[in-house]
Amino acid sequence: MKKIVINAENPNGIEVELTAEEETQRQTDLANAETERQAEETARQSKEDLKASAKAKLIAGEALTEDEANTIVL
């Protein structure tokens, strides 16, 4: 993989190969970003499921759990 280095001597930038350390860090960053994206998606889906459950219980006249009640904004 290459990166573009821009400095005073090369204002338009030059391409240089990543060092082994930089490549390792890049792979780690990509893996961490994917893990974070999945966690956010799981949290979003969990909240949507909780809202749907609360709505269904309200329509059916059933008691809500505390978490379901906390999702309702009046």
Residue 29: count of CB within 10 angstroms of its CB: 10
pTM over 0.75: no
Domain count, the chain: 1
Dump pLDDT digits (tens) for 31-72: 999 999 999 999 999 999 999 999 999 899 999 898 888 888
Measured distance CA(69)–CA(57) in Å, rounded: 10
Residue of 56 and 7 predicted with greater confidence = 56
Single out the residue of 13, 30, 25 nearest to residue 3, CA to CA: 13
pLDDT value for 74: 55
For 61, the domain range is 2-70
